């Protein structure tokens, strides 16, 4: 039997059928799967949360601090990860030793703190209880990122250069709207100097994407960024309008920018690391890991 992983629900409640199917995928990879996520557990008055804040924080902390777990895997996004950031004992979690952490979407809020606090690379991957785990391409991309990470990650078939050039630095980012929500939150660090920023989102109109990027720009969040890699913008309006926003807001930064790299909520999504040292070649476009 392979490594033990524990599946948790730190944000929204996972749908039972999708959770069961996702757990089967993990087991098919030879993993010893434990599941703390419970489709029947909800907050007593806020049903969009998978239990109270204290319950969800305790579930994550217990799974992370269990020495038998090699990985902690998030079942669902939705909303709620922001609410538990202040309830976690980050010192104890850092002392618990290295583990793999996976998830995306609302889980961006946890990536933003957990990776830096524990000195780890975390994985922006499909959520276990999501439609993506039923897609063979997304499944295989996640499996390869976790078990067979190749030296270079190539952009998907729609990837293209917005601003050419190369840059090197640690990857940061995730879902754009969640990154904006963490601005000014205690314990959430700014991007390290020379970062390669990865951004994507879902169901945000072009004017809202403009708003989010403008807020990040005016706050100084992009001031020391070395490159930008844009993923998918599923259900975010006409792709050409999203492209126009990116050109207008990011095209003048004087740094390499790639769009439609392939990670995010879209079908066949790539899994990408956060906190990894990479070289971005916007002309290829590729991310090459620095060992």
Element (H, E) at 73: strand 71-74
Using the predicted structure, report yes or no on whether residue 1 has a pLDDT greater than 70: no
Per-residue pLDDT, 146: 95
Per-residue pLDDT, 2: 87
Fold of 152-289: Glucose Oxidase; domain 1 (3.50.30)
Per-residue pLDDT, 97: 85
Catalytic member of 200, 204, 259, 260? 200
| Residue 200 annotated in active site | yes
- Equal fold, 4-147 vs 152-289: no
Residues 195-208: what's their mean pLDDT? 98
pLDDT-derived band of residue 149, with 50, 70 and 90 as boundaries? confident
As a whole number of angstroms, the distance between CA 173 and CA 61 comes to 22
Q: Domain limits of the chain? A: 4-147, 152-289
CATH code for the part of the protein at 4-147? 3.40.50.10740
Per-residue pLDDT, 186: 87
Per-residue pLDDT, 72: 98
The proportion of the chain whose per-residue pLDDT surpasses 70, expressed as a percent, equals: 100
Per-residue pLDDT, 252: 97
Q: Which of 106, 54, 64, 63 is nearest to 81 (CA)?
A: 106
Task: Give the three-state DSSP class for 123.
Answer: strand
pLDDT per residue as tens digits for the range 86-145: 999 999 999 998 999 999 999 999 999 999 999 999 999 999 999 999 999 999 999 999
Catalytic member of 104, 105, 177, 232? 105
Average per-residue pLDDT in the chain? Answer: 97
| Residue 158 annotated in active site | no
Per-residue pLDDT, 134: 93
As a whole number of angstroms, the distance between CA 120 and CA 94 comes to 9
As a whole number of angstroms, the distance between CA 166 and CA 184 comes to 30
Kindly report whether the global pTM for this prediction surpasses the value 0.85.
yes
Catalytic member of 104, 111, 130, 265? 265
pLDDT per residue as tens digits for the range 246-273: 999 999 999 999 999 999 999 999 999 9
């Amino acid at each position: 039997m392979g490594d033990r992983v524990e599946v948790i629900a730190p944000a929204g409640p996972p749908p039972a059928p999708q959770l069961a199917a996702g757990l089967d995928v993990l087991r098919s990879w030879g993993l010893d799967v434990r599941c703390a996520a419970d489709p029947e557990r909800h907050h007593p008055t806020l049903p969009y949360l998978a239990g109270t804040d204290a319950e969800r924080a305790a579930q994550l902390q217990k799974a992370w601090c269990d020495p038998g777990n090699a990985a902690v895997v998030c079942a669902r996004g939705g909303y709620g990860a922001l609410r538990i950031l202040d309830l976690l004992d980050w010192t104890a979690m850092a002392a618990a030793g290295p583990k793999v952490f996976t998830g995306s979407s609302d889980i961006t809020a946890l990536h933003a703190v957990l990776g830096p606090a524990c000195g780890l690379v975390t994985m922006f991957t499909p959520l276990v209880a999501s439609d993506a785990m039923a897609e063979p391409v997304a499944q295989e991309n996640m499996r390869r990122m976790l078990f067979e990470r190749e030296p270079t990650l190539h952009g998907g078939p729609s990837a293209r250069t917005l601003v050419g050039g190369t840059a090197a630095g640690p990857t940061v980012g995730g879902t754009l709207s969640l990154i904006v929500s963490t601005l000014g939150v205690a314990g959430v660090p700014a991007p390290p100097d020379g970062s390669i920023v990865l951004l994507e989102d879902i169901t945000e109109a072009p004017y809202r994407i403009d708003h989010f990027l403008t807020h990040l720009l005016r706050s100084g969040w992009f001031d020391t960024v070395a490159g930008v890699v844009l993923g998918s913008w599923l259900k975010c309006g006409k792709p050409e309008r999203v492209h126009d926003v990116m050109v207008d807001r990011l095209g003048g930064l004087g740094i390499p920018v790639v769009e439609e790299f392939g990670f995010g909520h879209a079908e066949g999504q790539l899994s990408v690391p956060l906190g990894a040292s990479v070289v971005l070649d916007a002309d290829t476009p590729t991310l090459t890991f620095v060992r």
